[in-house]
A = this chain, B = another copy of it.
Amino acid sequence: MPVACQDCPLRMLPCFDDLSEDELQFMTQFKSGELDVAAGTPILVEGSKSPQIFTVLRGMGLRYKTLEDGRRQVTNFVMPGDFIGLQAAIQSEIGYSVDASTDMTLCVFRRSDIWKLFRMHPSRAFDMTWLVCSEEHFLGEALTTVGQRSALERIAWAMVTVHDRASQLGLVHNGVMNFPFRQQDLADALGLSLVHTNKTLAKLRERDLLTWSDGMLSLRDRESLRQIAQLDDTMPPKRPLL
């Protein structure tokens, strides 16, 4: 049974912009349905033209690109509130794949309605562009991390970034969050080998900076991790939700 936008549990979170009554009504009719997928399901496939666009309501996933010989670059961890698939709607093809890492619920939009959104609801079009800019910004950060930071710095960066994101979404309880990924996923996100990722994680664990086992992640000392990562401590602004 689909959730009405009116009752969207994400909408209530303080990290998201408020919606006007008008916008809310528009979104309700813009939303074409809901999709439930099991862990492991591919949601978007690189190079395809998906007729659908999604907002993540629940669960987590992986966004990645692959080379012909099988090497894989994870470009982001997908979390609730993320808007995925717009590339396919605006250009002809999509440049990345998304797989579900846990069971997920997705809010579905028709790509053919995008144009209507731009014409009829400029404020929502603006918000959509905001989200793409935001993703662009993140990829710039990730590129800088993989290009310039050492293995220890990369992992510290990833953990603080992921944790902060989850924290915004109210997914951290008593300092612990669900982190349903494999070490191989983290390695592929940071351009490191699995073995070295494992050994570097062990170092952070020995120093008692974090714990991660059985899919549960806890930052024991976020401040130290932040410093290792040379990450500045700015509160992210409120963001739009589509």
Contacts and interface: CB of A to CB of B under 8 A. Distances in A.
Contact of A132 (B92, B136, B191, B237): B136
Interface stretch (A32-40, A70-78, A167-175, A178-186): A70-78
Contacts of A139: 136, 139-140, 143
Range of interface residues on chain A? 35 or more
Interface in A124-148: 125-126, 128-130, 132-137, 139-144, 146-148
Q: Name the 8 nearest CB pairs between A and B, nearest first.
A: A147-B191, A139-B139, A73-B144, A118-B122, A95-B137, A71-B148, A136-B136, A73-B147
A189 B142 CA distance: 13
Main secondary structure of the interface of A (DSSP, over half): helix
Interface of A: 65, 67-69, 71-73, 75, 86-87, 90-92, 95-96, 115, 118-119, 122-123, 125-126, 128-130, 132-137, 139-144, 146-149, 188-191, 230, 232, 237
B135 A67 contact: no
A91 B234 CA distance: 14
Contact of A148 (B67, B123, B136, B148): B67
Given A90-B126, A128-B129, A146-B146, 7 more contacts: A67-B148, A73-B144, A90-B129, A90-B133, A95-B137, A143-B143, A147-B188
Contacts of A147: 73, 146, 188-191
